[in-house]
Structure 1
Amino acid sequence: MAEHMDPEEFRRAGHAAVDWIADYWATLGQRPVTSHDPPGALAAALPTGPTAQGEPVEALLADLDTLVAPRLTHWQHPSFFGYFPANISGPSVLGDLISSGLGVQGMLWATSPACTELETVVLDWLAGLLDLPQRFRSTGSGGGVIQDSASSATLVATLAALHRASGGRWRDTGIDRRYRAYTSSQGHSSIEKAARIAGLGLDGVRVIDVDPETLAMRPDALREAIRADLAAGDVPAIVVATIGTTSTTAIDPLPEIGAICAELGVWLHVDAAYAGAAAVCPELRWSHVGLEYADSYCFDPHKWLLTGFDCDAFWVADRGELIEALTVLPEYLHNAATETGAVIDYRDWQVPLGRRFRALKLWFVLRWYGVEGLRTHIRSGVALADRFADRVQADDRFALAAPHPFSLVCFRLAAGDEASAELLSRVNATGRVFLTHTRVAGRYTLRLAVGSPLTTQAHVDEAWELLSEAVEKLPASHE
Structure 2
Amino acid sequence: MTPEEFRRQGHAVIDWIADYWESLDELPVLSRVAPGEVRRALPAAAPEHPEPFDSLLADVDAIVVPGLTHWQHPRFFAYFPANSSPAAILGDLLSSGIGAQGMIWATGPAVTEVEQVVVDWLARAMGLPEQFLHAAPGRGGGVIHDTASTATFTALVAAISAATGGRSPEQGLGSHRWTVYGSTQAHSSLVKAAMMAGLGSDCVRGIQVDPRTQAMDVRALERQLADDVDDGFQPLFVQAAVGTTSTGAVDDVEEIAMAVDGLAWLHVDAAWAGVAAVCPEHRDRLMRGVHLARSFVTNPHKWLLTTFDCSVLWVRDSALLTGALSITPEYLRNAATESGEVVDYRDWHPQLGRRFRALKLWAVLRTYGLEGLRAHIRDGVALAAYVEELVASDDRFELVTDRSLSLVVFRLRAGDDATLAAMEALNASGVAYLSHTRVEGRAAMRLAVGSWRTTRADVDRTWAALQEAAEGVLGG
Same fold, TM exceeding 0.5?
yes
User: Per the shorter chain, which TM-score range?
Assistant: over 0.9
Amino acid at match of 1:57: F
Residue from 124, 145, 148 that aligns with 1:147: 145
Residue from 28, 31, 37 that aligns with 1:35: 31
Amino acid at match of 2:349: Q
Amino acid at match of 1:149: T
Report the counterpart of residue 289 of structure 2 in structure 1. Answer: 290
Kept in 2, the 8 Å contact 1:165–1:235? The answer is: no
Structure 1 residue 48, shift from structure 2 partner: 1.9
Report the counterpart of residue 16 of structure 1 in structure 2. Answer: 12
Taking the TM superposition and a 5 Å limit, the aligned residue runs for 1:101-112 are: 101-112=97-108
Structure 1 residue 450, shift from structure 2 partner: 0.6
Kept in 2, the 8 Å contact 1:136–1:316? The answer is: yes
In the alignment, the residues of structure 1 paired with residue 3 and residue 297 of structure 2 have an alpha-carbon distance, to the nearest angstrom, of 39
Report the counterpart of residue 234 of structure 2 in structure 1. Answer: 235
In the alignment, the residues of structure 2 paired with residue 393 and residue 312 of structure 1 have an alpha-carbon distance, to the nearest angstrom, of 35
In the alignment, the residues of structure 1 paired with residue 386 and residue 220 of structure 2 have an alpha-carbon distance, to the nearest angstrom, of 36
Report the counterpart of residue 339 of structure 1 in structure 2. Answer: 338
Structure 1 residue 265, shift from structure 2 partner: 2.8
Structure 1 residue 327, shift from structure 2 partner: 0.6
In the alignment, the residues of structure 2 paired with residue 12 and residue 193 of structure 1 have an alpha-carbon distance, to the nearest angstrom, of 45
Taking the TM superposition and a 5 Å limit, the aligned residue runs for 1:72-471 are: 72-139=68-135, 140=137, 141-171=139-169, 173-176=171-174, 177-261=176-260, 263-285=261-283, 286-471=285-470
Structure 1 residue 169, shift from structure 2 partner: 2.8
Amino acid at match of 2:40: A
My pick for the range that moved more, 241-250 or 41-50, is: 41-50
Deviations 1:287-313 (A, max 9, x none): 221111110000000000000100001
Amino acid at match of 1:215: Q
Report the counterpart of residue 6 of structure 1 in structure 2. Answer: 2
Give 5+ residue unaligned stretches, structure 2: none
Give 5+ residue unaligned stretches, structure 1: none
Amino acid at match of 2:295: S
Deviations 1:46-105 (A, max 9, x none): 122222211111111111111111110000000111110000000100111110111111
My pick for the range that moved more, 365-374 or 162-171, is: 162-171
Structure 1 residue 472, shift from structure 2 partner: 1.4
In the alignment, the residues of structure 2 paired with residue 173 and residue 59 of structure 1 have an alpha-carbon distance, to the nearest angstrom, of 52
Taking the TM superposition and a 5 Å limit, the aligned residue runs for 1:466-477 are: 466-476=465-475
Q: Secondary structure at the match of 2:105?
A: coil
Residue from 54, 71, 85 that aligns with 2:67: 71
Amino acid at match of 1:341: G
Residue from 45, 54, 67 that aligns with 1:49: 45
Amino acid at match of 1:87: N
In the alignment, the residues of structure 2 paired with residue 426 and residue 167 of structure 1 have an alpha-carbon distance, to the nearest angstrom, of 55
Structure 1 residue 172, shift from structure 2 partner: 6.4
My pick for the range that moved more, 465-474 or 123-132, is: 465-474
In the alignment, the residues of structure 1 paired with residue 125 and residue 460 of structure 2 have an alpha-carbon distance, to the nearest angstrom, of 32
Q: Which runs of 4+ in 1 moved over 6 A?
A: none
Against the structure 1 CA distance between its residues 33 and 171, is the aligned structure 2 distance closer, same or farther, given a 3 Å change threshold? closer
Kept in 2, the 8 Å contact 1:165–1:236? The answer is: no
Deviations 1:123-173 (A, max 9, x none): 000001101001100123200000000000100000011111122234563
Q: Secondary structure at the match of 2:437?
A: strand
Structure 1 residue 7, shift from structure 2 partner: 1.9
What is the aligned-residue identity percentage? 54
My pick for the range that moved more, 144-153 or 45-54, is: 45-54
Q: Secondary structure at the match of 2:81?
A: coil
In the alignment, the residues of structure 1 paired with residue 228 and residue 166 of structure 2 have an alpha-carbon distance, to the nearest angstrom, of 21
Structure 1 residue 37, shift from structure 2 partner: 1.7
Deviations 1:434-468 (A, max 9, x none): 00100001001001111110100000111111111
Q: Secondary structure at the match of 2:473?
A: coil
Q: Secondary structure at the match of 2:182?
A: strand
Structure 1 residue 259, shift from structure 2 partner: 1.6
Structure 1 residue 475, shift from structure 2 partner: 4.8
Kept in 2, the 8 Å contact 1:223–1:260? The answer is: yes
Q: Secondary structure at the match of 2:47?
A: coil
Q: Secondary structure at the match of 1:110?
A: helix
In the alignment, the residues of structure 1 paired with residue 167 and residue 76 of structure 2 have an alpha-carbon distance, to the nearest angstrom, of 47
Q: Secondary structure at the match of 2:368?
A: helix
